[in-house]
């Protein structure tokens, strides 16, 4: 949903339901899906109607409440047992994005620690989901502003390359990587965004480009295999990407193709930044080798719309994410500031789970 200033808000709570921008229909159709049940929220996450690690976390939080609302019992223990089934359904939707598990954990902790009747507990769960929602928006705005401090200081305005979509659509609003872009644009420091198209689902071409158009930010879409060429031509001053899960050492899982961009940036001495909330950092994982990588339906590769792109009989491999090693990352930009990957552990607040 957009305001008069064209700010995008992909998740809205109103009239006792969740309204989601259907991101599978952008940019050709700007439509919404109304979610009333936890099962429908799980399906929306699985099918990428809502996507992006922070947005998935917010959606899952509301999914827990919607599931709680459907449970008809006044017995607290029975309620919690059935709520755990709702949580497990939502956990099973996307394995890589840690914000999903972080939000579910926070909601379930609220359920177990709250006192009062089941009816009061349900209301507390709604309030917690709304708090997670509001906090994410504030977090993204802080990430955007903190990114300004570490972007290169150049005589001319900056050109920033990004991969996939880590904008308002991937969060509660404003975005992580595109939050940095938005802050740079509003401070007069940005000339243009170069957006990798991001095969196979084309989030850069469809979503990042759409968001930039909404706000009048100049954007150039390139195919994924053009990034290194653009760097060599001096067209890129910095790379800023989002993240779906970050290990304690700074190894970062993001949309497939990010690793290649990081290697190219390193070769051309271009700073490579990851922008993400601390809820995306999984401090329980020592390094990126422990991050689970989701593999998706190969149809995403071999078919666009109703058109098949490849001959029958070939095989496919469709990992949705890759892991960029910490040594290729200049800094990780969070709501608490920007940190070198080796300093990430120092940023861990007590409330991060």
The mean per-residue pLDDT over the stretch 72-91 comes to 97
pLDDT above 90 covers a percentage of the chain that reads: 93
DSSP annotation of 245 reads: E
Q: Which CATH number fits domain 154-347: 1.10.645.10, 3.40.50.280, 3.90.1150.10, 3.40.50.10470?
A: 3.40.50.10470
Check: CB of residue 293 under 8 Å from CB of residue 261.
Answer: no
Confidence class for position 350, pLDDT limits 50, 70, 90: low
Check: CB of residue 237 under 8 Å from CB of residue 157.
Answer: no
Confidence class for position 149, pLDDT limits 50, 70, 90: very high
Rg of the chain over all Cα atoms, to the nearest angstrom: 20
Catalytic residue annotation: 244
**Could you tell me which residues are annotated as the binding site?**
51-53, 94, 203, 254-255
* Digit-coded pLDDT (tens) for 177-187: 999 999 999 99
The mean per-residue pLDDT over the stretch 125-143 comes to 97
Q: What is the pLDDT of residue 330?
A: 98
The mean per-residue pLDDT over the stretch 142-171 comes to 96
Phi, psi of 254 (to 5 degrees): -145, 180
Q: What is the pLDDT of residue 137?
A: 95
Q: What is the pLDDT of residue 135?
A: 96
**CA 351, 147, 184, 163 torsion: positive or negative?**
negative
Q: What is 116-179 written as a DSSP string?
A: S-HHHHHHHHHHHHHHHHHHHHHHHHHHHHHHHTTS---SSPEEEEE-S--SGGGSSSS-SHHH
The size of the chain, in residues, is: 353
Confidence class for position 6, pLDDT limits 50, 70, 90: low
**Could you tell me which residues are annotated as the binding site for substrate?**
51-53, 94, 203, 254-255
**Domain at 11-141: CATH architecture:** Up-down Bundle (1.20)
Strand order in the sheet with 272-275: 219-222, 190-196, 158-162, 238-241, 272-275, 331-334, 337-339
Strand partners, 152: none
Domain positions in the chain: 11-141, 154-347
Reply yes or no on whether the pLDDT at 293 is more than 90. Answer: yes
Reply yes or no on whether the pLDDT at 353 is more than 50. Answer: no
The mean per-residue pLDDT over the stretch 58-64 comes to 98
């Amino acid at each position: 949903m957009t305001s008069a200033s064209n700010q995008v808000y992909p998740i809205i709570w109103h009239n006792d339901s969740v309204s989601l921008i259907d991101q599978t229909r952008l940019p050709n159709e700007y439509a919404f899906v109304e979610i009333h049940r936890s099962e429908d929220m799980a399906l929306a996450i699985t099918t990428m109607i809502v996507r992006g690690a922070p947005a998935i976390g917010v959606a899952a939080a509301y999914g827990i409440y919607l599931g709680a609302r459907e449970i008809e019992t006044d017995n607290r223990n029975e309620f919690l047992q059935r709520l755990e089934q709702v949580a497990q359904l939502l956990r099973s939707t996307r394995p890589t994005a840690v914000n999903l598990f972080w939000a579910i954990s926070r909601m379930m902790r609220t359920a177990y620690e709250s006192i009062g009747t089941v009816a009061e507990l349900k209301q507390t769960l709604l309030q917690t989901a709304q708090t997670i929602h509001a906090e994410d928006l504030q977090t993204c705005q802080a990430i955007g502003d903190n990114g300004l401090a570490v972007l290169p200081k150049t005589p001319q305005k900056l050109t920033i390359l990004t991969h996939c979509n880590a904008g308002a659509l991937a969060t509660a609003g404003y975005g992580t990587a595109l939050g940095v872009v938005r802050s740079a644009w509003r401070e007069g420091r940005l000339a243009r965004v170069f957006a990798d198209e991001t095969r196979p689902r084309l989030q850069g071409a469809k979503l990042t480009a759409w968001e930039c158009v909404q706000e009048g930010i100049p954007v150039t879409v390139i195919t994924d295999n053009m990034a290194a060429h653009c760097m060599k031509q001096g067209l890129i001053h910095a790379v800023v990407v989002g993240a779906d899960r970050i290990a304690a050492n700074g190894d970062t899982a993001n949309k497939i193709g990010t690793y290649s961009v990081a290697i190219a940036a390193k070769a051309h001495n271009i700073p490579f930044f990851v922008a993400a909330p601390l809820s995306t950092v999984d401090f329980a994982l020592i390094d990126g080798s422990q991050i689970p990588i989701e593999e998706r339906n190969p149809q995403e590769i071999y078919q666009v719309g109703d058109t098949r792109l490849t001959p029958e009989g070939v095989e496919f491999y469709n990992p949705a994410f890759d892991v960029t090693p910490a040594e290729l990352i200049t800094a990780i930009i969070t709501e608490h500031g920007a940190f070198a990957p080796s300093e990430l552990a120092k940023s861990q607040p007590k409330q991060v789970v």
